[in-house]
Amino acid sequence: MIDIALHQDSSATQLKDISRRQAISAKYLDHLLSSLRKAGLIRSTRSRQTGYSLSRPAKKITLKDIVLVLEGSLAPVDCVDNPGTCPQVKTCRSRKVWGKLKKEMEKVLASVTLQDLVDSKKIKGKSSLQN
């Protein structure tokens, strides 16, 4: 997603270019991009070669949006989202802690936008060029 955002100004970013720059196999990357496209975070353009672009500005896409699409729930244990999976859910002493952990992780991820990461990458890139 950072790669797409960084190269958004030119034209739609091609899978092969992302794959090369990020050292991710094209097959695996295609799987990730498909999930992100189905979730509405990116769009694909079909021409001679398919390209990808963000479906909305990077400042309106949070890490939470991305992580939930690619990883699913942030609950560290199943019973946080699905109480029926554990027969001890009513007496469990730790379930509440796991629920708080999930909420805090979501809060942190929701506080960081894709634009924040793009800006951070651009700043880091400039400073490393100067050193």
pLDDT tens digits, residue range 1-53?
999 999 887 678 899 999 999 999 999 999 999 999 999 999 998 766 678 99
Domain count, the chain: 2
Tell me the C-alpha to C-alpha distance, in Å, between residue 5 and each of 1, 11, 87: 6, 11, 45
Q: Do 75 and 46 reside in the same domain of the chain?
A: no
> Using 50, 70 and 90 to split pLDDT, how confident is the model at 120?
confident
Domain co-membership, 51 together with 72: no
Same domain membership, residue 88 and residue 44: no
pLDDT surpasses 50 at 128: no
Residue 125 lies in a domain: no
Domain housing 108: 60-114
The yes-or-no verdict on residue 125 having pLDDT over 90 is no
β-strand partners of 51: 14, 45
Instruction: Quote the CA–CA distance of 130 and 26 in Å, as a whole number.
Output: 33
Residues 74 and 29 in one domain: no
Q: What is the C-alpha to C-alpha distance for residues 102 and 80, in angstroms, rounded to an integer? A: 8
Q: Are residues 74 and 110 in the same domain?
A: yes
Task: Note whether residue 124 is domain-resident.
Answer: no
Q: What is the pLDDT of residues 66-113, one digit of tens each?
A: 999 999 999 999 999 999 999 998 899 999 999 999 999 999 999 999
Does 65 share its domain with 51? no
The tokens for 120 are: 């951070």
Task: Supply φ then ψ for residue 8, to 5 degrees.
Answer: -65, -30
